[in-house]
Amino acid sequence: MKIAIAGTGYVGLSLSVLLSQHNEVHALDIVPEKVKMINEKKSPIIDDYISKYLKEKNLNLHATIDYKEALGNVNYIIISTPTNYDSDKNHFDTSSVDDILAKATDINPNATIIIKSTIPVGFTENARIKFNNPNIIFAPEFLREGKALYDNLYPSRIVVGEQSNRAKIFAELLSEAAIKNDIPTLFVSSSEAESIKLFSNTYLAMRVAFFNELDTYAEVRGLNSKQIIDGVGLDPRIGDHYNNPSFGYGGYCLPKDTKQLLANFENVPNNIVRAIVDANATRKDFVANQILKRDPKVVGIYRLTMKSNSDNFRQSSIQGIMKRIKAKGVSVLVYEPTLNEPTFFNSPVTHSLDDLKSECDIIVANRMSNDLKDVVDKVYTRDLYDRD
């Protein structure tokens, strides 16, 4: 197959590497530096499997900034461009998806277009009408930042938003390139596929919020949060996973997807989805207040990223903590080695751990690190398990 993939973030790049094992893949991006790195077999994002496969595997992969070169004369066009939540419009900003849909329809109207970007429920049906193109299908992705290719090689499931031969062929392309066998595969309508994506991520956000509220209760009452979570997790219906307290759910998917699902619930009775969205702000308020109670003069922020082995800090929860602390007039020093700018939201950035440790009264870390073991008395974290 000849496949074009528009967007080379976590989703697009992992799919490009995955599918180029057995197919001719053209990766399209608007950033020349990323295109150059991919063609030099270097990953522009931190993902161990992507880096390894680019370096060691014989991939039929070419990156370009030329739309006609990428989209013309291919069987499938996969759209994996970003769709950030627009709080003013109360829904995803799908302009990047619309742009590719328009160009793809014009350049290659017979190609099957697979939308992998997260979109509102009903978007695909409307897009078919808007662009007069019946070849648009939605197929959600279920990937973790820093583990994107791994999660494509060992997928939990494959979902395609159409019941057709071309949908089956696309699912077979994904399963053929995976290492895992007997992958559960589901063919549904486009709106059901869009709902599966949003409800899945909102459930994960709910689990994060639940254990964060448990941890808030334990901290306020002076109880051992870890012991409570250990006991709760021994129930096999609950399980001992995805239960490590944090400063809130963050990252690229969960904050925006929960808000989009809530927007889709307009005029539909609900309590839980609204509570999940509100719970994240409540948790950040609580954590910030716990830090401010110590009356610090300078607060250190250890990493803007959500977790280890990631270079992405879009919507990371620690940024919400940082903003709340600064709003009270407390100085903040950010330690983030992946950030080249001298400041972040008007706070100085350092690449020196020694400066962070010596200049700050409290060091705030969403996830604990061996880098901080020697100043553990200064550290404020809710990481109980040294993982996630």
Q: Any binding-site annotation on 256?
A: yes
Q: How far apart are CA 227 and CA 213, in angstroms?
A: 15
Strand partners, 334: 301, 349
Q: Any binding-site annotation on 237?
A: no
3-state secondary structure of 377: helix
Which residues does 136 contact at the CB level (< 8 Å), separation at least 6?
101, 113, 115, 124, 127, 128
DSSP, residue by residue, 119-188: --TTHHHHHHHHTT-TTEEE------TT-HHHHHHS-S-EEES--SHHHHHHHHHHHHH-SSSS--EEE-
Q: Any binding-site annotation on 350?
A: no
Q: Any binding-site annotation on 357?
A: no
Could you give the residue numbers annotated as active site?
A: 253
Q: Any binding-site annotation on 274?
A: no
Q: Hey, how many other C-beta atoms are within 10 angstroms of the C-beta on 337? A: 13
Q: Any binding-site annotation on 32?
A: no
Q: Any binding-site annotation on 122?
A: no
Q: Any binding-site annotation on 368?
A: no
Q: Any binding-site annotation on 174?
A: no
- Here the tokens at position 26 are 């053209």
Q: Any binding-site annotation on 246?
A: yes
Torsion sign (Cα): 303, 210, 232, 220: positive
Q: How far apart are CA 69 and CA 88, in angstroms?
A: 36
Could you tell me where the DSSP H helices lie in 57-136?
Answer: 67-71, 95-107, 123-130
Which residues does 194 contact at the CB level (< 8 Å), separation at least 6?
119, 120, 121, 122, 123, 124, 138, 140, 161
Side by side, the strands of the sheet bearing 2-6 are: 61-64, 24-28, 2-6, 76-79, 112-115, 136-138
Q: Any binding-site annotation on 242?
A: yes
- Here the tokens at position 64 are 């370009």
Q: Any binding-site annotation on 157?
A: no
DSSP, residue by residue, 223-271: --HHHHHHHHHTSTTT-SSS----S---TTTHHHHHHHHHHHTTTS--S
Q: Any binding-site annotation on 29?
A: yes
Q: Any binding-site annotation on 143?
A: yes
Q: Any binding-site annotation on 231?
A: no
Binding-site residue numbers for substrate are: 142-145, 197, 242-246, 250, 306-307
Residues of each annotated binding site: 29, 34, 83, 118, 142-145, 197, 242-246, 250, 256, 306-307, 314
The annotated binding site for NAD(+) is made up of 29, 34, 83, 118, 145, 256, 314
